[in-house]
Structure 1
Amino acid sequence: MSAELQMSTAADAVEFPYRAVSRAAIASLFFFVLALPGLIPTFAPMLFLAVVGLGAAIVGVRAIRNYPEEYSGRGLATFGMAANALLLVGGLCLHTYIYLTEVPDGYTRIPFYELQQPENGPDMPTAFAADIDGENIFIKGYIHPSSGSGLLRQFILVPDLGTCCFGGQPKSSDMIEVTLTGGKSAEGSMMKRKLAGKFILNRIPQKKTDFDNIVYYRLKANFVK
């Protein structure tokens, strides 16, 4: 009886061998989920995680192909490969389209860094800021939390989340005082904002409540998104 039981157990082991699900295949789905927020412009850099997920899926497929008796999960790895590739290509196409169509007619795209001084440079307006004084510009940034919450018609715009929420008091060349015109308003949040309007360089520096440094830049914006 004991011998028959041992033979039966051995036969079952041969007929139904244990195979571990490829960790790389599982990881590919994990990175796919993490990369999904990259479809939102604010979190676009997270799309890079789809590249990691795609690489993990390829590793998983190869491991399963080379060691079929040790690993399972080919379908999982194949899905992870397709999902990450689709997310990466689709996300890049989406952000390219947004970039090419987001600037309103009659406005010039201005990168925020053109208004910023180097890390150890003097905290004063840049020469570029003087050149665009009075021009209609399009710029992106974040509403500083000290500007308030709820719907705002006036706020301080800063270049990045570090300056916005984790960098303490922003430098003068990191701030733009925005005034929305035409009855428009923007909700205070950590979302990246797109604004278009007339850029003004303050000839007489101004102080703003809750900010230690003076404000040189102003924007009278008639477009916000």
Structure 2
Amino acid sequence: MRYVKWTFWLLIFVLVGGFLHYTLPQHDIVRIVGIENRRIDIGENSIFWSRAEVGMTDSTSRDVFFINAVYPNGKTMEYRNEDTGWGWPPYFKIDSFGLQTRTKDLVSTASDPVWVQVTHYGWRNKFFTIFPNAVSVKRVAGPDVTVIPWVSIIVLVTLAFILFMIRRMWMQFRERMVDPAMVRAEQAFDRVDARADEVRAGARGLWGRFRSWLDSWKSKPKR
């Protein structure tokens, strides 16, 4: 049971951690090298695509904006640029067209780079054709700029505080209600066991007296 317990909590930790890592905003310092508009057929990985732009018909086949970027170390990254609307995650993004225009103005070359902070959520996975969704773009001073993820810090601290308060309330509830009830139940079981022992002891005594009475009727051995 110990291994089952730890496996259960490990599974919960992985699921919650993966959900938060996908949903919370992340910040990349990149150089924008191009933008494009691509026709996408949404298939089995539809859970990793947002709804259609607000005001447009939601369809399994639609045009999606993409942003192509390069990290300071030369690695490439591709972002999708889709509206989230009023759905999940709650970024309330409804300006994908405006973001695409601002991104186009930040396109640069390796000889004259313009470094940009791209705020996004989601993952990049080539095997499942998953792209992170860009939420905002902002020009920064250089590739070594430090970005403090204030939103993620606030969310995680708030969740930790909520979990701490839930645990405190549960401990108080257990101390006031559950533990006394368990003690009373254990005492009741002890009384039942003691009564059962008394009954068994009485039964053995009665049987012993009956056996002695039977033995008294047996013929005594001749001398």
Band of TM-score, shorter chain = under 0.3
Give the TM-score taking structure 2 as reference length.
0.22
Larger Rg: 2
Task: With a CA cutoff of 8 Å and minimum separation of 6, indicate the structure with the bigger relative contact order.
Answer: 2
Task: Give the TM-score, by structure 1 length.
Answer: 0.22
